[in-house]
Amino acid sequence: MSPLLAIDDLSVTFARSGLLSRLINPFPLPSFNVIDGVTLSLMPGETLGLVGESGSGKTTLARTILGLVRAAAGRITFEGRNVATPADFRAMRRRSAMMFQDPVASLSPRLRIGALLTEPQIIQGLPMPDRRAAAKALLALVGLPASFVDRFPHELSGGQARRVGVARALAMKPHLLLADEPTAGLDVSVQGDVLNLIGELKRELGFAAMIVTHNLAMIRHVSDRLAIMYLGRLVETGPTQDVFSAPLHPYTATLIQSEPIPDPRRRSQNPAVTGEIPSVFRRPSGCEFHTRCPIARDRCKTEAPAYRPMGTDRMVRCHFPLVTGGQEREAFSRASANHRGN
């Protein structure tokens, strides 16, 4: 099977030009790779979780895939065709949908839900004999009452606004759904609701999804594959279950260990990692994670590790990956020894 979406060596550059940053640093600065050499693919029907901390470039990557941000280098292939010109991106956007990070802000406040739900089709010039009926059908699809067609976005709860976001995204029957933090700010129960809804609709309609998040506890249940990002670069990809049970990159391992566990009998003894997250605008030399990596060695400070395959379906960017049974794995567990009780 060929991938639905393939990204090859994609980079995005931003000039650091804001007034504030000029005040902080008056020297003319070159531009910076916010996304650097990302290679990734998504199979039809697959769910990929894109995980990374704030500022690591997740939103930027999602927006670049849809052509909302211009790539400085690299190739995007969608359904077997190269996507390069604005017309290509428009064609691709017609077959894909994006759920934005802040659902209420991304819904126009002056339009009623009914109009918001059918707006994308109208913009695309698709025929729609009865807008109200079409909107009500979409509301039913996401489990909201038909009476919501007359409501305004600010009259919805957080969870309801996400449901409207899902309905709006799916109105176009996309082949690809890009969801940026689809459950940020939601309570666990409502989060479960929204994710169950996306899961059900996926099974029914068969689209592929890329879910951008920093919520590991959630993504482990809803994704088939994971891609971990640090400072605009992928550091690890692999099947979700494998990555969770045996992370190869020390950063992935620290992320998993940092998650607070809802069990007072298993409190963490030490933070898995110390130090601040560096900025993409000031990347550390060598391996970018060396300033915080519990098993960094001298080589890591000077030589950047290559992004290389491990086994058949995993990739990792580290000189000393935590291979099961290997001494790095052991060194890592020693460095975070006594991390949690049993």
Partner 1 sequence: MTGSLAASNLSVRYETPHGAVHALRHVDIEAHPGEVIGIVGESGCGKSTLVTALANLLPANARIDGSISYNGVDLAKLDAHHQRLLRGDEIALVGQDPMTAFNPVLTIGDQLVDFQHHRKDLGRAQKRARIAAMLGRVGIADAERRMNSYPHELSGGMRQRVAIAAALLTDPGLLIADEPTTALDVTMEAQIIHLLRELRRDYNGIIIVVSHHLGVIAELCDRVYVMYAGEVVEGGEVDAIFHDARHPYTQALLACDPARFHEKLDRLPTIPGSLPNLTQPPSGCVYAPRCDRAFAPCVSVAPPLVKLSVSHMARCHAVTP
Cα angle 5-108-163, degrees, rounded to a multiple of 5: 60
Number of chain positions touching partner 1 (CB under 8 A): 48
Rg of the Cα atoms in the chain: 21
Minimum CB distance to Mg ion, residue 165 (Å) = 15
Stretch that binds Mg ion, among 45-53, 54-62, 106-114, 274-282 (CB under 5 A): 54-62
Residue 287 makes contact with ligand SF4 by CB under 6 A: yes
Q: Which listed option, partner 1, ligand SF4, ligand ATP, none, makes contact with residue 237 (CB within 5 to 8 Å by class)?
A: none
Q: How far apart are CA 340 and CA 129, in angstroms?
A: 60
Given Mg ion, ligand SF4, ligand ATP, none, residue 290, with its beta carbon under 5 to 8 Å by kind, binds ligand SF4
* Window 245-284: contact mask with ligand ATP (x via CB under 6 A): -----------------------------------x----
Contacts with partner 1, 245-264, as mask; x by CB under 8 A? ---------xx--xxxxxxx
Q: How many CA atoms lie within 13 A of 213 on its CB side?
A: 26
Q: Residue type for 289, please?
A: F
Distance separating alpha carbons of residues 289 and 287, to the nearest angstrom: 5
CB of 220 to partner 1, least distance (A): 7
Residue of 33, 59, 160, 252 that binds Mg ion (CB under 5 A): 59
CA dihedral (60, 64, 65, 66) in degrees, to 10, reads 110
DSSP 3-state of 124 = coil
258 binds, among ligand ATP, ligand SF4, partner 1, none (CB under 5 to 8 A by kind): partner 1
Residue with tokens 């600065």: 29
**Nearest CB to ligand ATP, comparing residues 56 and 96:** 56
* Residue 306 binding target from partner 1, Mg ion, ligand ATP, none, CB below 5 to 8 Å by type: none
Binding test (CB under 6 A) with ligand ATP, winner from 36, 48, 52, 148: 52
Based on the shown chain and the rule CB under 6 A, indicate whether residue 60 belongs to the binding site for ligand ATP.
yes
Q: Which of 26, 27, 54, 306 binds partner 1 (CB under 8 A)?
A: 54
Is residue 336 within 8 Å of residue 255, measured between CB atoms?
no
Cα 225 from chain centroid (whole Å): 12
Q: Which of 233, 290, 314, 329 binds ligand SF4 (CB under 6 A)?
A: 290
DSSP 51-63: E--TTSSHHHHHH
**Which tokens hold the place of 194?**
């929204």
CA quadruple 231, 232, 237, 240: dihedral positive or negative?
positive
Closest approach, Cβ 109 to ligand SF4, in A, equals: 37
Residue 16 is a binding residue for partner 1 (CB under 8 A) = no
Q: Give residues with Cβ within 8 angstroms of 182, minimum separation 6.
A: 99, 162, 165, 166, 194, 195, 198, 211, 213
Give the number of C-alpha atoms closer than 13 A to the C-alpha of residue 168, restricted to the C-beta side: 27
Q: Which of 99, 247, 320, 336 binds ligand SF4 (CB under 6 A)?
A: 320
257 binds Mg ion, rule: CB under 5 A: no
Containing H/E element for 19? helix 19-24
CA distance 197 to 45: 15
Residue 64 touches Mg ion, criterion: CB under 5 A: no
Q: Which residues bind partner 1 (CB under 8 A)?
A: 20, 24, 53-54, 157-158, 185-193, 195-196, 199, 214, 216-218, 220-222, 240-241, 244, 254-255, 258-265, 267-268, 270-274, 276-277, 292
Query: Which residues in this chain contact ligand ATP in the complex, by CB under 6 A?
Result: 14, 34, 52, 54-60, 101, 214, 280
